[in-house]
Every structure is written in structure tokens, then in C-alpha cells.
Amino acid sequence: MAGSRKLGRTSDHRKAMLRAMVTYLLENGRIETTVTRAKEVRSMAEKMINIAKVATPETELHAKRQVLSYVTKEGVVKKLFDEIAPKYRGADGESERNGGYTRIIKTGPRRGDAAEMAVIELV
């Protein structure tokens, strides 16, 4: 587990929620959520992207299995390895971008409970 925020959930519920949010972020490129959830999602999403980015042809199967143990859809894992990770990898195979694959933009309070909202998106 990446962070230490409990988010008002039991550990099983929290883990399932974060897995679903990371999967949705990698699938669609952006999600709107609360700031604290966005910070937790950022941590895990960047770990998944980094695993995919540093994978070599020899270690790609192992890396895909590692990511698939967290991400809930096989199609999203394929998209991560085929489209998302190569964007952050340099032309010669070396890493071009060292972290910072996501951006959190605060959007203001939510109507109803005034929770601070944010949009998290892939850079």
C-alpha cells in the first residue's frame, strides 16, 4: 500500500476503491475525486506506470503480471504497456521523464458536503 491515509474505509474497501480508481485513471486519462483520494491514487498510478516504463523485453512478462495483480482489467494493462509507458520512455529506451506522470488540479468545494474536489490526469 502506498500511503497511510485511511479515507474513512476499512482496509479491504479502501484497497478495492483505490484499485478501481487507478484502473479507471489509466483507462480514461482523468478522473474527478476528492483531493485526498487523488493523492493516494497518484501514488499507486505512478508506481504502475514506472513498472511498465522500466520493463525490458526480458522482464516484460514479469512486469505485466505485477501490474495485473493491482489493475483490474487486462485491456488497461495492455494499454499501459503499449501506449502510456512508451510516452514517458525516451527514444533510445532510457527513461526520459523521471516520475511526475500525473497532475492534480484542485477544482473547489463539492456541493453538499463542501469536500475539496480535484481532477487527477495523466500528463
pLDDT band at 93 (very low <50, low <70, confident <90, very high): low
For range 51-55, the mean pLDDT: 93
Q: How many CA atoms lie within 13 A of 71 on its CB side?
A: 29
Mean residue pLDDT of the chain comes to 92
Domains and CATH numbers, the chain: 12-122 (3.90.1030.10)
pLDDT of residue 80: 96
Helices vs strands, H then E, count in the chain: 5, 3
- Rg over CA atoms, the chain: 15
Q: What is the pTM of this model?
A: 0.90
Contacts 24+ apart (CB under 8 A), 106-112: 106/35, 107/32, 110/34
- Rounded distance between C-alpha atoms, residue 23 and residue 43, angstroms: 13
pLDDT band at 90 (very low <50, low <70, confident <90, very high): confident
